[in-house]
Structure 1
Amino acid sequence: MASREQHRRQLCAGIKTLGLALEDSKVEQLLDYITEFAKWNRAYNLSAVRNIDDMIVRHLLDSLAVVPHVAGQRIIDVGTGGGLPGIPLAICYPERQFTLLDSNGKKTRFIFHVKTLLGLHNVRVENGRVEALEPTQLFDGVVSRAFASLADMTGWCQHLLAAGGKFYAMKGQFPKGELAEIADRYQLVERIDLRVPGEAGERHLLILDRAV
């Protein structure tokens, strides 16, 4: 089994390839997070990925790939699961506020544990369905990673966006058909082809805005 130092080297190499510059303290937080993720995954089934080396690629680096592209002070990660991409984003942006929402109580208990363990005061955890969430303050961005179709994501989450807010949808293959379904209501502001170190499959980030 790989040591923490080997995991650190793997993560740092990936961060460098992504063109990011993270302080050592943030790298350590990311390693602490994925270590806890792997530990809790054995009992809580947070992910189908079982090997921590693969988790670094498919969870951490995949989430970190969107770091330069997500804007706004208040962000909600919908269908966050075990905290992806919300926890990595919150570690990278301690000055921003992140709400992590999931309907699975086991997963939100894990996220609350990680928030406490890592001292992430900029993270709020919500357990429930997105349609039922009534925030006191709207969000600048709604982020989702393999959460739902674009039609469902925009339909279920439209009440969460502040004026000028954006949807950030993390996808595998470019979802041309899904975009056509919502073309009368939402426009594609930007398509970003992500290059995740160690990941051969296609990855895209779609930034959506309300159609004018």
Structure 2
Amino acid sequence: MTSPTAPDLSALRPELEAGLRALDLDVALATPLLDYVALLVRWNATYNLTAIRDPREMIAKHLLDSLAMHPYVEGIGRLADLGTGAGLPGIPLAIAKPVLQVSLVESNGKKVRFMREAIRKLGLTNAEAVESRIEAFDAPGRFDAITARALATLPLILESGGHLLRPGGVLLAMKGVVPSEEIAALPPGWRVRELHPMRVPGLDAERHLIVVAAA
């Protein structure tokens, strides 16, 4: 793919490092995370991968928002990121948590091509991009957790992706305000096990992580 020269994002490093410190993450992660943003900016110039086009906005709204859930993937072996788009939150989590195996599930071919290039360039041996509709992803019971950042309602996520969870597996759903109506509409056999307010450095917006498990 012919694309513009990689942008120089070094001016954004202090802001990203401050955010990483606030999330209790190693500031050394700033290097691969900025490499990912640089790739995203380059591809976004040709393909519409994300509506956010300003690299500075991507720091808080993409990277730090994705990484805010990192404490809740501790101890998880395999994570499926459903409707991941350009790889969010899956790629930042794979960068920050090398022992976490992440499957990035996306039906849009150009986004999958971008993710495969990002995985190759970043040397992420713990991530794979899967081109598939969520309900057609033939991996029943393979995952300890599924996640979705801005995909759909909780009932719809479970309807399309619940088959991917092993017994005892959980949905880690990233939401803004507490989605009371979605929680009330959970399918039979599912319940909210935990609800965590999340503070995202640089983002003045309400964010919550909803942990849904089998009842």
Q: TM-score range by the shorter chain?
A: over 0.9
Structure 2, unpaired ranges of 5+: 1-6
Q: What residue ranges of structure 1 are gaps of 5+ in the alignment? A: none
How far did residue 4 of structure 1 move?
Answer: 2.7
The secondary structure found in structure 1 opposite 2:45 is: helix
Structure 1, residues 155-183: CA drift from partner, whole Å, max 9, x if none? 11111000111100001111000000016
User: What does residue 101 of structure 1 align with?
Assistant: 105
Partner Cα separation in structure 1 for residue 135 and residue 187 of structure 2: 22
- C-alpha displacement of 1:23: 5.3
Supply the AA of the counterpart residue of 2:181: G
Residue 172 of structure 1 aligns with an amino acid whose one-letter code is: G
Which of 7, 11, 16 aligns to 2:16? It is 11
Corresponding position of 1:203 = 207
Q: How does 1:79-158 map to 2 (within 5 A)?
A: 79-135=83-139, 138-158=142-162
Structure 1, residues 130-164: CA drift from partner, whole Å, max 9, x if none?
11111276100001101111110011111100011
Which of 32, 35, 57 lines up with 1:32 in the alignment? 35
Whether 1:53 aligns to 2:53 is no
Of 157, 162, 168, which aligns to 2:166? 162
Residue type at the aligned position of 1:13:
A
> Which stretches of structure 1, 4 residues or more, deviate above 3 A after TM superposition?
none
TM-score (norm 2): 0.93
- How many positions carry a matched residue from both structures? 208
Q: CA deviation at 1:125?
A: 0.9
1:21-57 deviations in Å (ceiling 9; x for gaps) = 3152x32110100111111112111111111000001
Match of 1:187 in 2: 191
Distance of 1:199 and 1:87 partners within structure 2: 20
Counterpart CA distance in 1 for 2:33 and 2:211 is 25
Single out whichever of 91-100 and 131-140 deviates more from structure 2: 131-140
Closer, same or farther: CA 136–189 of 1 in aligned 2, 3 Å: closer
Per the alignment, residue 71 of structure 2 pairs with 68
Identify which range, 180-189 or 42-51, moves more after superposition: 180-189
State whether residues 197 and 208 of structure 2, in contact with CA within 8 Å, keep that contact through their aligned partners in structure 1.
yes
C-alpha root-mean-square deviation of aligned residues, in Å?
1.5
Per the normalisation by structure 1, the TM-score is: 0.94
Task: Report SS of the residue matched to 2:201.
Answer: coil
